[in-house]
Amino acid sequence: MTGLRWGILATGGIAHAFTRDLRTAGLTVAAVGSRRAEAAESFAHEYEIPRAHSSYEALVEDPDVDIVYVATPHGRHFEDAALALQAGKHVLVEKAITLDADEATALRDLAADADLLIMEAMWTRYLPHMARIRELVRSGALGEVRTVFADHTQRISADPSHRLNALELGGGALLDLGIYPVSFIWDVLGAPTGIRALGRLGDTGADTEVVGSMVHGTGAVSSFAISSRGAGPNVAHIVGSEASIAIDPVWYCPTTFRVTDADRRVIEEYRSEVDGRGMQYQALYAEQLLADGRRDSELLPFGESVAIMAALDDVRAQVGVIYPPKRKNAG
C-alpha cells in the first residue's frame, strides 16, 4: 500500500501542526472530521482538504480515508482510536497513547484482531537527530551508558478548567509532558526494572510537577523532571563511560547536540535540518510500514507503548493522582 489517504480526527492545535507537516512532505490529506461542522469546514479550507465531516463517525466511515490521525486530547484517545479501528482504518494516535495501560492493551487487541496498524504518535522518536543518537549509542561510541536525564518543563495555564488541570479529562503534567522524557529514556536504556517518583498536585488533584528515577536492566540509572507551571531548560543528557551526548533545547524537537569525550573535547556536533516541525517523519514511517505489509513500528513497537503506559500508571499511583471512574467502553 502506497500513497495513503489521511483523515484528520479533530481540529485542535496539534492537528494543525501535523497537517502542515503532511503537506510539507507532499502526503495526501483526504478528509477532516470535527464535532462542529464549521470547525471541520474551516480546517478543510485552510489546508485544501477535499472533504470536511461534521462528526468523527462520518470521518472514519469515509471510503477515501485509509489511515486516521487521532488528534483529540488523550482522555478521548481510546474511544476515538477504537472508532477508527472498528471502521477498518489504520490509526496513528497522539501521545500519550491512552489514559492507562488497560486502554492501550484494548487498542492493541482491536488492531491485532482486524490486522490493522496502530501506532503511537511519539513523533520525537522519528526525528533525524534521534536517529543519529541511536546510532551513536548502539555503535558503542559512548562506551557503557551509565545514566540518562531529560526534563520537559513548561508554564501552562493554572485555570482549573484547562484540560491539563481537569482530572475528568485525564489532566496532569505526567501524561501530557512526562511521556516525552520517559519514552526517550526507554528508547536509550530499555524498560526500567524499578521506578521511584515524587510529585506535587494542584488544587484540582492533577499533577503539576513530577520527578522520577529509574533503574534499568544494564544497571544504568535515569531521571526525569516535568512541570506544567514553570519553564525550565528542556535539555537531555546521555552519559557514557567514554563519551556523553548533550542535547540542546528543545531536545524533543529538531535541534542540535554535541558529543564530548571523557576529557570534554567535542568529537561530534549535529545540527538538524528539518522542514516544518518534523511531524511528517512519523507519518512517512507509518506509510512505509504499510507499504511493506507490516503492522508494527520497529522504532516504537505498540507493546512498548503499552509498557510505557503501565510505567506511567505506576508513577501516577506513587504521586497520588486518581482519575474519576473509567468510562464503560474502556473497561
Question: How many C-beta atoms lie closer than 10 Å to residue 195's C-beta?
Answer: 16
For the chain, the straight-line distance linking the first and the last C-alpha, in angstroms and rounded, comes to 33
Query: Could you tell me the three cell numbers for 69?
Result: 490521525
| pTM, full prediction | 0.95
pLDDT at residue 329, rounded to an integer: 41
Q: State which amino acid sits at residue 323.
A: Y
pLDDT in tens, the chain (331 residues): 458 999 999 999 999 999 999 999 999 999 999 999 999 999 999 999 999 999 999 999 999 999 999 999 999 999 999 999 999 999 999 999 999 999 999 999 999 999 999 999 999 999 999 999 999 999 999 999 999 999 999 999 999 999 999 998 999 999 999 999 999 999 999 999 999 999 999 999 999 999 999 999 999 999 999 999 999 999 999 999 999 999 999 999 999 999 999 999 999 999 999 999 999 999 999 999 999 999 999 999 999 999 999 999 999 999 999 999 865 444 3
Closest CA to 226 of 206, 245, 241, 244: 206
Query: Is residue 278 within 8 Å of 252, Cβ to Cβ?
Result: no
**What are the structural domains of the chain?**
5-121 (3.40.50.720), 128-271 (3.30.360.10)
Q: Name the pairing type of β-strands 5-9 and 67-70.
A: parallel
Q: State which amino acid sits at residue 279.
A: M
Angle between helices 77-86 and 101-114 (to 10 degrees): 10
Query: Is residue 175 within 8 Å of 99, Cβ to Cβ?
Result: yes
Phi-psi region at 3: left, alpha or beta (left = phi > 0; alpha = psi -120 to 50): left
Rounded CA-CA distance 73/99 in Å is: 10
Phi and psi at 154, nearest 5°, equal: -135, 155
pLDDT tens digits, one per residue of 35-91: 999 999 999 999 999 999 999 999 999 999 999 999 999 999 999 999 999 999 999
At 111, is the secondary structure helix, strand, or coil?
helix
At 129, is the secondary structure helix, strand, or coil?
helix
Question: How many C-beta atoms lie closer than 10 Å to residue 148's C-beta?
Answer: 26
